Chain A
Amino acid sequence: MRLLWMQAGACGGDTLSLLCADNPTLEQLIEEGLELLWHPSLSVAPPRYLEWLIDAITTGRTPLDILCVEGSLIAGPRNTGLWDSLRDRGKKDAIAELAEAATYVLAVGTCAAYGGIHAAPPNPADCVGMQFDKASPGGLLPAAWRSRSGFPVINLAGCPTHPNTIARFLAFLLRGLPVTLDELQRPADFFSTTVHQGCSRNEYHEYDVEDTILGDRGCLFFNLGCQGPLTLATCNQELWNGRSSKTRVGVPCFGCTSPDFPRDTSLFLTEKIGHIPLRLPIGVQRANYMAYKDLAHEATPARLIRREMEP
C-alpha cells in the first residue's frame, strides 16, 4: 500500500514515535509492502518531488492508499493557512485535496485528530483537527466527510500516539483486518483500555492511598491530576519503548488521547468536589464511588499506607 505522510503544525513527535515502534517495526512494514511515497523525515527524493506527487495524486494519476497527517491544521491568519504554508498556499488546503484522493485518511496524534496542544487557549494559530475541533465534530473536513473507503478520518490519538498503535494500525490496513471506530473515530482495538488498566499503582488506587506530592509511590488520581481512569489508551497494557509508562515512574497521565488535551486547568492538580475528584473514572456514579472509597480506606493494609510496594 502506498502511504503519504504530511506534517502540518507539528513537533514531529508522532514520526519519532513511529520510529520507536517495535512490534511491528517500520522497517518490517516496509518489507511487507508498505511503500512510503513521501515522508518528510525519511524520503530521499528532493522536495520538488512532493510537489509533483501532490499533483499526481490529486489529479488521479497516482493512487494513494493511506494519507497520514501529523500536526494541527493551522488556519491562521484569517483562514488562509499561510502560517503553515506550502508553496505560497496554506498547507491545510493541500492536505484537504489529498484527503479526497486517499482510500484511508489517518490523523496521527491528537493535534491532527482534535487540534491538540496548539489549539489550547487562546488557540493563537487557529488550529483544528482533521475532522474535529476539540470534541466537536467537524474540523478541516466536515463531520459528514468520508474517504474513498467509506471511513471518516481515523484518529490515532495520543501526544504522541503510542508507537505500536501507529505501527499496528498500519499493519491492520496492510493485512486487511477489520476496523471499527469509537465515537471519537479512534480504532476500538487500541482505545478500549483505560490507562488505569495495568497501572502498577493500581493497588494504591484500590485502597485509596493517594499521593499529594510528586515523586512518591502512591496513586496520582485524587490530587496530582492523573487522568488514567478516564483516558482510553494502551499505555499500561503495552509498555512504552518496551519498558515502562508515565504512571509507572510517577508521572500523571495527562489524558493526551482525549479531544480536550491539554485541559484548561492546572495539569498537575485534580479538581475536586469535597475530597472526591470532579471527574470520576469512566461510567462511575459519584455516590457509589464515595461509598466504595470510604470502605476501601478502612481496609487499607499498612504496607500500602507505608508505601512499601514498588510501583
Chain B
Amino acid sequence: MTRRTLELELNRVEGDLTFQVELEDGRVADARCIGTTYRGFEQIMLGRTPMDALVITPRICGICSTAHLYAAVRALEDAWDIAPPANAVHIRNVSLMAEIIQSDLRQTFLFFTPDFCHARYAASPRFDAIGAAFTPFKGWMHLETLRYSRRVIEIVALFAGQWPHSSHMMPGGVTAPATARRIVDGQSLIAELTRWVERRILGGDLGAWLEIAHADEFDNWVLERPEAALTLLSQAARFAGLHTMGFGSPHLLSFGAFALPEPMVGRSHWLASGVRFGGDAPVVPLDPSAIGEQVRYSWFKPHPGGKHPFEGETVPDYQPASERYSWIKAPRYGGEVMQTGPLADLVVDGDPLVVDLYRREGGSAWLRQLARLRRMTQLLLFLRRTLDQLATRIGEPHRIPVPPDAKRDGQGAGMLTAARGALGHWIGIRDGVFDRYQVITPTAWNASPRDSDGIRGHWEESLIGVPVQDPEDPLEIGHVIRSHDPCLACAVHCLDSGRQIRFGV
C-alpha cells in the first residue's frame, strides 16, 4: 500500500480553495477542503442601518451579487412583515434568473470544460472536436460563451442598472418599473440567447429538449446531435469517467426560488423548495429550523453542536496548528451533511429527466454538470414567461410605500436558490441597527469541513475513492470539485453574527 499526501490549490473556481488529499494506491482515501481566506463581513454589518445590507451584502460575491441582494431584501421584508407587489416579484425574478443563466454558462464553458482539452484525453474519438469547441480563447464554444454571457447579463442591467453589484431591490419592491421598453429589450435578448442555446448547446428546439423525460431519450438526443456543445460536454465527461465518481452526500437540499405572486401554468414557484434524504426517499418540505452550523473543525471560537443562524456566533479563532482547518463552518440540516446546487434543485423540483438519470447512475460529477445545463435551459423558458407576464401588467405598481414605523426591530430570514444552490441570510435588528447578520452560502453547505461528529463535508466526501492517475497533475480532482461549481468568494467569509473583536498587539 502506498500512501501519499497532496496539497492542492484549485483555480477556475471563484475564490481561494485548497485541498489536502490523501492518496492510497492511486485513489483518494481522505480529503480536507480548506477555505483559506477570512474577510470578516459580519463585523462590518453589525451596527449598520438595515438598508445598508442592500449595498454591502451583494459585494460578498461578484458572480452572484443579485442573489445576495434578493436574500437580503427578503430578510428585511420578513423582519418588517412587508409583501412586495406582484410586478416587483417578477422583476426580482427576472434579475436573478438572468444572473443564474450567466453563472451557469460561465461555470460550464469557461471553468469546467477547458480540462477536457488536456492531452491525457487524446485517445477520445471526439478529442479534436472537443478541443475545437472548448479550448480557452480559441475554441468556438469558449469564445461564444464569453460573448453570450455578456448578452444575458444585459437583462439584469435593464432592471438593475448594472451588473455586478446593484441595489435595485428594496423592502416593498424594486426601484424601477418594468416599462414596455425594458420588457421589449429583455424579450429580444432572451430570444437571441435562446436561438444561440438551441443552435450551439442543444442542437435542437428548446421546447423539445425540455420535454425529454427519460434517460434513454437523453442518450438518443446527444447521439443524434454530435456537434452540439451538450453532446461534446457529455461525451468528454463520460470519457473521463465522471459518471462513475464524485457522488458525495446523498442528501439533497433546495431552498426553492422564483416564488410566483400568483400561480402560473399550475405552479407557485419556478423551482420548488424541499429536502430529500438519500436514495429513493420522497421529497419532504423544507424546515428552516433544522439548520445548524457547527465549528469543531473551523477557525472560530468553539461551541458544542450546531447553532441555528438566528443564534449563531462568529468569533475568529485562527489556530493553524490545531485539528481545525478551515474558515468555512459546517452547516448541517437535521444534523446531516447536505449537497445543494442544480442537481439538488432539479431532483427536489422533480424534473423528470434529471430524476431518471439520478435513478440510473446516481448523482455523479457528470450528472451534476448536466443538471446545471438543464437548469439553465429551464430558466430561459421561465425568464421568457416572466417577461411575457410583465408585459400584460405594465403600469402596475413596482413598489409599495413602507411606513416608517414598519422598520422596527426584530428578526428575519431570506432563503432562496442562487446559482450554486441554497442561500440564506438571517438577520437581527435592535435599536434600528443590525445586531446579527448571518449568511449561509451554497458553497458553505457543499465545501464544509468535518462536523462535530467528524463527518466529512460534501465535497470532501465526493472525492473519496476518486482515482488519481498522475499525482503531479490530479486532473480528476479538478473535474469533481469543479462539477460542484465552487464559489469560495462566497463560502469563506460568511456573514455571521458575533461580537466585535479586535486583533493585533
Chain A residues in 8 Å Cβ range of B8:
47
Q: Report whether A46 and B168 are in contact in the complex, using a CB–CB cutoff of 8 Å.
A: no
Please tell me if the beta carbons of B167 and A11 are within 8 angstroms of each other in the complex: no
The answer to whether the Cβ of B450 comes within 8 Å of any Cβ in the partner chain is no
Q: Which residues of A contact B54 (CB under 8 A)?
A: 268
In the complex, whether A128 has a CB less than 8 A from a CB of chain B is: no
Tell me whether B210 is interfacial, beta carbon within 8 Å: no
**Residue A295 is within 8 A (CB to CB) of chain B in the complex:** no
Residues 326-340 of chain B: 1 if any A CB is under 8 Å from the residue's CB, otherwise 0?
A: 010000000000000
A13 near B38 (CB under 8 angstroms)? no
Which stretch in B154-162, B226-234, B353-361, B379-387 binds the other chain?
B154-162
Q: Restricting to A68-100, which residues have a CB under 8 Å from any CB of B?
A: 72, 74, 76-79, 82-87
Residue B63 lies at the interface, judged by CB distance under 8 Å to chain A: yes
Interface flag for A135 (CB, 8 Å): no
CB < 8 Å A-B pair total: 230
The segment out of A115-123, A143-151, A179-187, A283-291 that lies at the interface is A115-123
Binds A, one of B110-118, B366-374, B409-417, B461-469: B110-118
Taking A77-B503, A117-B56, A215-B398 as contacts, is the C-beta distance between A243 and B489 under 8 angstroms? no
Q: How far is the CB of A92 from chain B (nearest CB, A)?
A: 12
Are A12 and B159 in contact, with the CB atoms below 8 A? Answer: no
Least CB distance from B324 to A in Å reads 14
Q: Is A156 an interface residue (CB 8 A)?
A: no
Q: Tell me which residues from 213 to 271 in chain A have a Cβ below 8 Å from any Cβ of chain B.
A: 213-215, 235, 239-251, 254, 256, 262, 266-269
Task: Say yes or no: is A131 at the interface (Cβ < 8 Å to chain B).
Answer: no
Contact A20 B51 (CB under 8 A): no
Contact B320–A82 (Cβ < 8 Å): yes
**Contacts A27-B137, A251-B175 hold; do A214 and B170 have CB atoms under 8 A apart?**
yes
Tell whether B11 is near chain A: CB-to-CB under 8 Å.
yes
Task: Please measure, in the bound complex, the distance between the C-alpha atom of A247 and the C-alpha atom of B167, giving whole angstroms.
Answer: 10
| Contact partner, A267, options B14, B44, B51, Cβ 8 Å | B51
**B55 contacts A262, CB within 8 Å?**
yes
B194 located at the interface, meaning its Cβ lies under 8 Å from any Cβ of chain A in the complex: no
Is the C-beta of B452 less than 8 angstroms from some C-beta in chain A? no
Contacts of A41 in B (CB 8 A): 11-14, 110-111
The listed residue (A7, A12, A77, A126) touching B318 by CB distance below 8 A is: A77
On whether A213 and B158 interact (CB within 8 A), knowing A12-B14, A249-B175, the answer reads no
Segment among B142-150, B216-224, B239-247, B254-262 that sits at the interface with chain A:
B142-150
For the complex formed, measure the closest distance between the CB of B462 and the CB atoms of chain A, giving whole angstroms.
19
B65 within 8 Å of A (CB atoms)? yes
* Chain A residue contacts of B166, Cβ below 8 A: 246, 249, 251
Q: Would you call A17 an interface residue if the criterion is a C-beta within 8 Å of the partner chain's C-beta atoms?
A: yes
Q: A12-B14, A41-B12, A241-B154 are in contact. Are A84 and B489 (CB under 8 A)?
A: no
Give CA–CA (A251, B58) in the complex, Å. 14
Which of A16, A82, A126, A245 gathers most chain B CB within 10 Å? A16
Using CB atoms, name the residue of chain B closest to A75. Answer: B504
- B401 x A213 contact (CB < 8 A): yes
CB <8 Å contact, B398 and A74: no
Cross-chain contact A122 with B51 (CB below 8 angstroms): no
Known: A47-B9, A50-B11, A214-B170. A241 touches B43 (CB 8 A): no
Residues of A within 8 A of B12 (CB): 40-44
Q: Are B55 and A240 in contact (CB under 8 A)?
A: no
Contact B55 A244 (CB under 8 A): no
Q: Which of B13, B40, B156 contacts A124 (CB 8 A)?
A: B40
Report A11-40 CB contacts with B as 1/0, cut-off 8 Å: 111111101101001110010000000001
B172-217 residues with Cβ-Cβ distance < 8 A to A are: 172-176, 179, 185
Q: Are A20 and B150 within 8 A (Cβ)?
A: yes
Name, among A11, A26, A87, the residue most crowded by chain B CB atoms within 10 Å (CB to CB). Answer: A11
Knowing A40-B11, A50-B9, A243-B158 are in contact, say whether A17-B137 is a contact too (CB < 8 A): no
> B159 is contacted by which of A74, A86, A249 (Cβ under 8 Å)?
A249
CB-CB < 8 A to B59: which residues of A?
11, 13, 117, 159
CB distance from B171 to the nearest CB of A (A): 9
- Do B161 and A251 have beta carbons less than 8 Å apart? yes
Query: Across the interface, which residues of A come within 8 angstroms of B56, CB to CB?
Result: 117, 120, 262, 267
* B432 (CB) vs chain A CBs: closest residue: A266
- Do the beta carbons of A78 and B505 come within 8 Å of each other? yes
Give the number of chain A interface residues (Cβ < 8 Å): 74
Q: Are B503 and A78 in contact (CB under 8 A)?
A: yes
Residue of A nearest to B42 (CB): A124
Q: How far apart are A164's CB and chain B's nearest CB, in angstroms?
A: 12
In the assembled complex, B225 has its CB within 8 A of some CB on chain A: no
Min CB–CB distance A19 → chain B (angstroms): 7
Q: Is A120 within 8 A of B318, CB to CB?
A: no
Contact of B137 among A15, A30, A214 (CB under 8 A): A30
Asked if B161 and A245 make an inter-chain contact with CB atoms under 8 angstroms apart, the answer reads yes
- Asked whether A139 is an interface residue with its Cβ less than 8 Å from the other chain, the reply is no
Q: Which residues of B contact A251 (CB under 8 A)?
A: 160-161, 166-168, 175
A175-201: CB near B (< 8 Å → 1, else 0) gives 000000000000000000000000000
B354 to chain A, nearest CB (A): 27
The reply to whether B136 and A19 contact each other, CB–CB distance below 8 Å, is: no
Q: B83 within 8 Å of A by Cβ?
A: no
A15 and chain B: residue at smallest CB distance: B62
Report Cα–Cα, A85/B34, bound state, in Å.
11
> Which residue on chain B has the smallest CB distance to residue A25?
B146
Q: Could you say which residues of chain B place their CB within 8 Å of the CB of A82?
A: 318, 320
Using Cβ atoms and an 8 Å threshold, which residues of chain A touch B170? 214-215
Residues of chain A within 8 A of B137, CB atoms compared: 27, 30
Which of chain B's residues have a CB closer than 8 A to the CB of A20?
150, 153, 163
| A310 interfacial by beta-carbon distance below 8 Å | yes
Q: Beyond A13-B62, A250-B168, A267-B52, is A118–B505 a contact (Cβ under 8 Å)?
A: no
The chain A residue sitting closest to B189, CB to CB, is A243
**Which residues on the A side are within 8 Å of B60 (C-beta)?**
11
- 11 further A-B contacts with Cβ under 8 Å, apart from A83-B327, A243-B154, are A12-B14, A13-B59, A13-B62, A41-B111, A46-B11, A48-B9, A78-B505, A124-B500, A125-B38, A248-B176, A254-B167
Residues of B at under 8 Å CB distance from A? 8-16, 36-44, 48-49, 51-52, 54-56, 59-63, 65, 106, 110-111, 114-115, 117, 136-137, 143, 146-147, 149-150, 153-154, 156-168, 170, 172-176, 179, 185, 316, 318, 320, 327, 398-399, 401-402, 472-473, 478, 489, 500-505
Q: What are 24 A-to-B residue pairs whose CB atoms are below 8 Å?
A: A9-B39, A12-B61, A13-B65, A13-B164, A13-B165, A19-B149, A44-B12, A46-B473, A47-B10, A83-B38, A122-B500, A124-B501, A214-B170, A215-B170, A215-B399, A245-B161, A246-B161, A248-B161, A248-B176, A251-B160, A262-B56, A267-B52, A268-B51, A269-B49
Which 5 pairs between the two chains have the least Cβ-Cβ distance? Answer: A13-B62, A124-B40, A250-B175, A240-B162, A12-B62
